[in-house]
Structure 1
Amino acid sequence: MAALAWLLIPFTAAVGAGLWGSWAARSRRTGDGPELAGYARFRAAMEKSASAAER
């Protein structure tokens, strides 16, 4: 029975490593949609303030 307990330790580690590996290799969403929209709003605000300062 003690031998089975010692075999469960590496088996549990292997299952944990497999789960972590599948989680780490998951496909992530790519895209800069919200970031680019925020940058466009920032540029529009800067252009407004620059044209208001020129007047």
Structure 2
Amino acid sequence: MAALAWLLIPFFAAVGAAVWGTWAARHRAIGDGAELAGYARFRDAMEKAGSGSDLL
């Protein structure tokens, strides 16, 4: 029975590694749409706030 336990430990480690590898290699959403839209809003806000020439 002890030999079975020693054989099951690497088996479960291999199964865990396979599950982790599958999870780590999953396809994630690729795109910068939200970040670019946020930057455009920021840029527009800075243009509106800095439209006066009283800063210099």
- Aligned-residue sequence identity (percent) comes to 74
CA RMSD of aligned residues (A): 1.3
How many pairs are equivalent?
54
TM-score by length of 1: 0.86
Structure 1 residue 4: Cα displacement: 0.8
Q: What secondary structure, in the 3-state scheme, does the structure 2 residue paired with 1:30 have?
A: coil
| 2:35 pairs with 1:40 | no
The one-character-per-residue Cα deviations of 1:1-55 (angstroms, maximum 9, x if unpaired) are: 111111000000000000010011011111111111110011111111222x137
Q: Give the distance between the partners of 2:42 and 2:29, measured in 1 at CA.
A: 24
TM-score by length of 2: 0.85
List, as ranges, runs of 4+ consecutive aligned residues in structure 1 with deviation greater than 6 Å: none
Extract unaligned runs of 5+ from structure 2.
none
Q: Give the distance between the partners of 2:2 and 2:46, measured in 1 at CA.
A: 71
Q: Give 1 or 2: higher helix fraction.
A: 1
